[in-house]
Amino acid sequence: MDHTFLSALVLLLLVLDPFGSLPIFISVLRGVDPARRTRVALREVAIAFAVLAVFMVAGQGFLAVMRLSERSLEVAGGVILLVIAMRMVFASGAEAYAVESGQGEPFIFPLAVPLLAGPSAMATVLLLASRQPDSLWHWMGALTAAMLVSGVVLLAADRIRKLLGDSMVMAIEKLMGLVLTAIAVEMILAGLKRYFFEP
């Protein structure tokens, strides 16, 4: 399953799921001084970007050290995405992470990891880099754009929820989950096809 810059960007946005992260983001930052929320949000987005960028650049070396094939990574990534997608469709985003409000200023956990740079995002960037290593700069650009969009959405979390309402945000998350389900199934089928029918 080859990707273009646009399809990689859409895939990363679906995996990062900024709209689904709104309730968690608001809950975690409830105990943070309002004057520091923007700085904390930018810091956590930057950390998540750094983690995913490292996974993307070191993807080929990681596969070589672990003796993993691209086929197994494609199937495993598809399975992880499918689980995340089903959670998006059938459960609220807040159920995905055990977060409590009023616990002070977060650092890395849970906003940067695993909210943004979670297992599905790590598997996705690894897969992009290993399947089409010649287009690494395209994938890095797509990751940068996706993280920028996610950062903007998270920074405007309160305004977006007030503007759209909780029901609309939930509907958008479920729609993203449906699209991500189809992408996950396609990844699994592509990996199985390469395993059984390609040398």
Give residue-wise pLDDT tens across range 48-65.
999 999 999 987 788 788
Q: Is the pLDDT of residue 100 over 70?
A: no
* 71 pLDDT higher than 90: no
Which residues form the domain of 74?
5-197
Is residue 99 scored above 50 in pLDDT? no
Query: Which pLDDT belongs to residue 98?
Result: 43
Residue 89, pLDDT > 80, answer yes
The answer on pLDDT for 113 being more than 80 is yes
**Per-residue model confidence as pLDDT tens digits over 12-36:** 999 898 887 787 787 777 778 888 8
Work out how many domains the chain is built from and give that number.
Answer: 1
Whether residue 94 is predicted with pLDDT greater than 60 in this model: the reply is: no
Backbone φ and ψ for 179, nearest 5 degrees, come out as: -65, -40
Q: Residue 84: pLDDT band by 50, 70, 90 thresholds?
A: confident
Q: What is the pLDDT of residue 20?
A: 76
Looking at every residue in the chain, the average pLDDT score rounds to: 84
Residue of 194, 197, 172, 169 lying closest to 78 (CA atoms): 194
Bridge partners (DSSP) listed for residue 107: 109
Does residue 40 register a pLDDT over 60?
A: yes
CATH number at residue 18: 1.20.1250
* Mean pLDDT, residues 141-160 taken together: 92
- 92 falls in which pLDDT band (50, 70, 90)? low
β-partners of residue 109 are 107
Q: Where are the alpha helices (DSSP H) in the chain?
A: 5-16, 22-28, 34-57, 59-66, 70-90, 119-131, 136-155, 157-164, 166-197
What is the percent of the chain where pLDDT is above 70? 92
Does residue 97 have a pLDDT over 50? no
Predicted confidence at residue 104, as pLDDT, reads 66
